[in-house]
Amino acid sequence: MKHLYGVTTAMVTPFGEDGQVDHDWMRDLTEFLISKGVHCLYPLGTTGEMLRLSVQERKKVAETVVKAAANRVTVFIHVGAMNQEDTIELARHAHEIGADGVGVVTPVFFGASDKELEEYFVAVASSVPADFPVYLYNIPQCAANDLKSDVVQRIASRCKNVIGIKYSYPDMLRTNEYLAVNQGTFSVSHGTDRLFLAGLAMGCEGTVSGVSCVYPEPFVALYQAFQENDLQKARELQRIAIQYCETLKNGSNMAYFKAALRMRGIEVGRMREPQLDLSAEEKAALQARLHQLDEASKEVVYQS
């Protein structure tokens, strides 16, 4: 079964002025990211505003990305939804259209017990073929539920296609616990962009990164440097990546991602209501800061 590895880019979802998904822009974004050397694509997650899309919209976006990627990179579709039925429907659809696997966030908003979380993930993983990879997704600061390592172990023991987790919280002790699941064979991708190098050093296979949707270059170069055992360069690239993360508000407001992509010549439209786009003043400040970072980092990033 395929794993997430290296730089897995969490993709934004482009919306036109009419508020509808623009699939041409989605294809263009896919091409941009592949051209920059990312290893895997992860549409329809937090970065992709997944809960603002209907099930049918999500299916169409998944189809667009899988078709545009054309087996050139690994594609995992995030399918976590507001209820179990929709999640299962989206997971089955991802398998049917030829995605390489799925990611599934914990149930959101309503609190769930450890047993409820276990049964939820087992139900979703069991709804697709046993050789279709499933990654759990734990982002407790947003989803209101935390997935403990012993629960992960129980899920993985019951479902052999649950092969990994995306962990988007900066707790390295918990990260280490996940790495010990299944006698150390469980795949872990860190979702905290600022800890990409730290995660690699601990044994994570890579990152699932939202900031890399805007600036894939430092992340791809960092992974390459790490693979070549050039830790000095990897550390320098991590510091650069952190500056981009902070400038883009660490993924707390995707309007910054979309504005920055447009500044790079990649049209991704607007935010879906009720979230607002950046003001003219915010855009001007962002552009000035990104110009400074681009100039300061280009020799390191583009000569890697």
Q: Check if the beta carbon of residue 147 is closer than 8 Å to that of residue 113.
A: no
The beta-carbon contacts of 70-74 under 8 Å, at least 24 apart in sequence, are 72/34, 73/34, 73/38, 73/39, 73/40, 73/41, 74/2, 74/3, 74/4, 74/5, 74/8, 74/39, 74/40, 74/41, 74/100, 74/101
Asked about 36 being catalytic, the answer comes back as: no
> Binding site annotation covers 208?
yes
Would residue 166 show up in a list of annotated catalytic residues for this protein?
yes
List the catalytic residue out of 166, 167, 178, 233: 166
- Determine the angle formed by the axes of helices 55-69 and 84-96, rounding to 10 degrees: 30
Distance CA 33, CA 22 (A): 17
Tell me the two tokens of residue 190. Answer: 């860190």
Residue 231 corresponds to which tokens in the numbers above? 């830790």
192 is in an annotated binding site: no
Place of tokens 């039925």: 85
The active-site residue out of 42, 135, 137, 167 is 137
Contacts of 18 (CB under 8 A, 6+ apart): none
**How far is residue 219's CA from residue 238's CA, in Å, rounded to a whole number?**
8
Question: Which residues carry a binding-site annotation for pyruvate?
Answer: 47, 208
Active site residues: 137, 166
